[in-house]
Amino acid sequence: MELVSLKQLFQRLNGGRLLGLDVGSRNIGVAVSDPQCRIASPHRWHDGWISFIFYHLECWVILLLLLLLQVQEFSITGFVIGYPLELTGFQGKQGAQVKLFVRELQLSKRFPTISYVYWDERLTSMAVMNVIGSMDISGRRRKSIMDKMSALCILQGCLDSLARLEKGTNGS
């Protein structure tokens, strides 16, 4: 896995898709791009019922396997990883946890061809909460939806920036 700039990610797409990850303290929300990398969609894991997984030490192997399956199934060429900066712009406790998660992915050596970018997700959870706050959803289901939608917002923000980058490259 290699950390790249947005421009480098754009250059390395080669017809592949992107996977958006919202790494939380207990859950990981996941979104996947369409083949043209224009639209992000919340993604369900293989069991069809949950869109997040717990990543404790005993589940790490399962997490790696699930990510590998997603990479293969969707021809993923890059990860867009939500990076929660503090409002001041500095890394907080959650940002350090995200970097540790990425470091563990790198140490696994399971994703040698995957490029990744960090995406500023400072206000993502608040925006998602505002959208689903009025819905009659509670507990675990609400958290699952928030994780998926946060991953979707992270990935869609990146896809929109890639589209602007592509427009500038084509001279349009």
Q: What are the pLDDT digits (tens) for 113-164?
A: 999 999 988 777 777 777 777 777 777 776 667 778 889 999 999 999 999 9
What pLDDT does 118 receive?
Answer: 96
Check pLDDT > 70 for residue 52.
no
CA 9 vs CA 22, 50, 129, 136: distances in Å: 18, 29, 29, 39
Check pLDDT > 60 for residue 55.
no
Per the rule left: phi > 0, alpha: psi between -120 and 50, beta: everything else, 149 is alpha
Q: How many residues comprise the chain?
A: 172
pLDDT mean over 45-54: 45
pTM: 0.85
In whole angstroms, give the CA distance from residue 167 to residue 149. 26
